[in-house]
Amino acid sequence: MHRRPVCELLKAYRLSHPNECEVADRFLAFVDAHEDVLHRTCLPGHVTASCWILSSDGENCLLTLHRKLGRWLQLGGHVDGEPEIWRAALREAQEESGMDRFELIPEPLDIDIHEIPGRADEPAHLHHDIRFLLQAAPGQELSISSESLDLRWFALCDVPSMTSEASILRMLRKAQALRG
């Protein structure tokens, strides 16, 4: 497995987000310490990819009501060995939204390390998530995947009233700042 693209991505992120050096350094150390970090079988955690999806007019974001976690979250999932993390994020966006046309910014919007609770078939573990900003092309229909209970566009101005999830609010702020 080739971890170099992930390390390069994280080092570039660290330089462009100096106020997030602590999480970037933890993320890099984890990637360096685990040769199989791009596979979900790597415990105590692994790299995941997700995306903050904006509507074609940039006024809404797409969130999924996650089936296992029961919370409104950005779309994403396991990278399954893909060293180019943006490719995994794009794949997850397509699989979980039913849409296939996006404009993707290849630099990460955000990174996050969070715990996934244990279940009967797997122990609690960490997701080291790299998040990208995508903008959906107009005129596409949504299709809910088996990983979701619901899938919905939310006006950006409504997101703070529907969740207190720190990482969701952080991605919202970053996407709004990029949009100007």
pLDDT, tens digit (0-9, with 9 covering 90-100), for 12-70: 999 999 999 999 999 999 999 999 999 999 989 999 999 999 999 999 999 999 888 88
Nearest CA among 29, 48, 38, 51 for reference residue 2: 38
| pTM for the model | 0.95
Do 104 and 132 touch, CB atoms closer than 8 A?
yes
pLDDT digits (tens, 9 = 90+) for 118-177: 888 889 999 999 999 999 999 999 999 998 999 999 999 999 998 899 999 999 999 999
User: 85-97 vs 4-16: helix axis angle to the nearest 10?
Assistant: 90
Do 77 and 148 touch, CB atoms closer than 8 A?
no
DSSP H helices, the chain, are: 4-16, 21-33, 85-97, 159-162, 166-179
Give me the CATH code for the 4-179 domain, please. 3.90.79.10
Q: Would you state the pLDDT for residue 9?
A: 95
Spell out a b/e string for 151-172, using b for 16 or more CB atoms within 10 Å of the CB, else e: beebebeebeeebebebbebbb
Q: Would you state the pLDDT for residue 179?
A: 80
Do 17 and 23 touch, CB atoms closer than 8 A?
no
Locate the domains of the chain by residue range: 4-179
The residue count for the chain: 180
pLDDT digits (tens, 9 = 90+) for 91-116: 999 999 999 999 998 899 999 999 98
